[in-house]
Amino acid sequence: MSKILSADDLFALHLEQFGVEPVITGINASISGDLIERIIDALETGVPYTEQEIPEGALT
């Protein structure tokens, strides 16, 4: 059975694999409860997790 990781472990793996931490702008705040799943997807697909910039003057 695989070792149980913490959310911080996942962020460290992201940094190790991509050289950057996941970029969180807040645009996905309404689905931010699924952040861990999306970081795992990033690790598995090889595409770093980077949220879009928030349009000027917009709120989420």
Partner 1 sequence: MAADSDYADILERLADSHQERLSGALKTLEEDVARLMATAPIKEGKLFDLEWAVAARPKIRAALESDYLAEVDAAIRDYTKVSADASKMLSSYGDFSKLDQTAITQLQRLSFQGFEGVANEYLDVMANEVYQSTLTGRSFDDTVKNLRQTINGVYIESDNLEANRLVDVATNGTASQQADAVRKLQTIYARDRVGNNLRRYATQMAQDSLMQFDASINTAIGKQSGASKWKYYGSTIRDSRPFCVEHAGQVFTDDEIEETWAGSWKGKASGDPYIVRGGYNCRHHWRPVFDEEPEQEDETTTVTEQPTKQEIDVVKEVEFVSINKAGEKEITVSDFNTALNAITPIQMALIQRLPKPKKLVGKPQGGLYQSYTGTLTSGTERGGSVVRHEYGHHVDYMLGKEGLGFGALSENDFEFKKAFKMDRKALGLHSSKTKQAAMEDLLDELYDVKVVERGRYSVTKRIIKADELPNLSDIVDALTHGQLQKKYRVWGHGVSYYKEVNARYKEAFANLFALRNTPEWEIVEKRFPAMAARFDEIMEDKI
- Quick one: 6 or 19, whose CB is closer to partner 1? 6
Locate tokens 């070792």: which residue? Answer: 3
Write the DSSP assignment of 22-34 as a string of letters: PB--STTGGGGGG
Residues linked to residue 23 through DSSP beta bridges, in sequence order: 50
Closer Cβ to partner 1, 20 or 54, answer by number: 54
Specify the DSSP class assigned to residue 2: P
Which residues are at the interface with partner 1 (CB under 8 A)?
1-11, 24-33, 35-37, 40-41, 43-44, 54-55, 57-60
Residue 4 or 19 with smaller CB distance to partner 1: 4
